[in-house]
């Protein structure tokens, strides 16, 4: 039985002060949640966030990291740096990073390997654009991403990996894939990973849905057989909304 994960990705929102105020209220609302609860604040808030969440069931994740341990990479953070402040999860390959910051399947693959080498659990984002969907290429696009992103990982890696299926056309648009459609695509992802690795690992891997998840959509999504949780953007910015999602 896979344990659900509800993760909030704040993207480029909230200061360290706002982060601490949020966590101080949020931690009490979600203390009895069945799901694993993860918050992904901006990098500058991570240290304060880890401190504010200490001793609670709220885990703090980074939104990105570099694949090298150190070096001349201005503006970047390394896996070692994240580890040193108590980070256990990192989002890798979010579509906004692929679209605006030249993230490629090759760099995603290097980052996944670096995360596992450093004992950080990656949350790998995959998904298709509207144009790819409308031209019937969703499965081909996902298959290509999975093959390249997961190349060289081990079955043990895959068991702990978290994948977030985020159709790009559903991110921040208020359009969600229907729960049934998202579930079918997530099943496709699981089957593909079983082909690339093995069934046992694919069955253990958690696959989340992301794209305009709201308090009124989460229940239907979580009733699906293969949706193991949500990666929530906009609706994770308000304590009340995200608490309702976590406590679906
Ligand atoms: O990482 C989160 C996703 O991009 C979803 O964002 P959204 O819930 O605002 O659509």
- Residue 121's pLDDT band (boundaries 50, 70, 90)? very high
User: Is 10 labelled a binding residue?
Assistant: yes
Token pair recorded at residue 193: 């990973």
Q: Is 66 marked active-site? A: no
Task: Report pLDDT for 177.
Answer: 86
Length of the chain (residues): 248
Angle at 213 between CA 18 and CA 238, to 5 degrees: 20
**Ordered structural domains, the chain, with CATH:** 62-237 (3.20.20.70)
Is the shortest distance between the CB of 9 and ligand 1 below 6 Å? yes
Q: Is 89 marked active-site? A: no
Task: Report pLDDT for 1.
Answer: 83
Is the shortest distance between the CB of 38 and ligand 1 below 6 Å? no
Pocket test for ligand 1, best of 93, 166, 216, 244 (most atoms within 8 A of CB): 166
- pLDDT at residue 176 above 90? no
Share of the chain above pLDDT 70, in %: 100
Tens digits of residue pLDDT in 64-117 = 999 999 999 999 999 999 999 999 999 999 999 999 999 999 999 999 999 999
Please tell me which residue in 36, 48, 66, 94 is annotated as part of the active site: 94
Whole-angstrom distance, CA of residue 59 vs CA of residue 87: 8
Strand partners, 210: 231
Please state whether beta strands 58-62 and 89-92 pair in parallel, antiparallel, or not at all (unpaired). parallel
Is the shortest distance between the CB of 212 and ligand 1 below 6 Å? yes
Atom of ligand 1 at shortest range from CA of 164: 1
Decide if the complex's ipTM is over 0.90. Answer: yes
Is the shortest distance between the CB of 171 and ligand 1 below 6 Å? yes
Whole-angstrom distance, CA of residue 203 vs CA of residue 205: 6
- pLDDT at residue 175 above 90? no
Distance 210 CA to ligand 1 centre (A): 6
């Amino acid at each position: 039985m896979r344990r659900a994960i509800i993760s909030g990705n704040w993207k480029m929102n909230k200061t360290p002060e706002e982060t601490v105020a949020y966590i101080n209220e949020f931690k009490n609302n979600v203390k009895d949640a069945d799901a694993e609860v993860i918050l992904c604040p901006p990098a500058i808030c991570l240290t304060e966030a880890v401190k504010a969440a200490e001793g609670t069931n709220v885990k703090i994740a980074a939104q990105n990291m570099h694949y090298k341990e150190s070096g001349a990479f201005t503006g970047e953070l390394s896996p070692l740096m994240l580890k040193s402040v108590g980070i256990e999860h990192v989002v890798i390959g979010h579509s906004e990073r692929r679209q605006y910051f030249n993230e490629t399947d090759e760099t995603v693959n290097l980052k996944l390997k670096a995360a596992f080498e450093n004992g950080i659990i990656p949350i790998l984002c995959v998904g298709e654009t509207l144009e790819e969907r409308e031209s019937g290429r969703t499965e081909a696009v996902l298959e290509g991403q999975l093959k390249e992103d997961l190349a060289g990982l081990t079955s043990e890696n895959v068991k702990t990996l978290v994948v977030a299926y985020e159709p790009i056309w559903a991110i921040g648009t208020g359009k969600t894939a229907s729960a049934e459609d998202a579930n079918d695509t997530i099943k496709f992802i699981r089957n593909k990973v079983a082909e690339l690795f093995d069934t046992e690992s694919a069955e253990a891997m958690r696959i989340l849905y992301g794209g305009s998840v709201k308090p009124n959509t989460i229940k239907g999504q979580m009733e699906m057989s293969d949706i193991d949780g949500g990666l929530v953007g906009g609706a994770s910015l308000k304590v009340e909304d995200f608490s309702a999602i976590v406590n679906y």
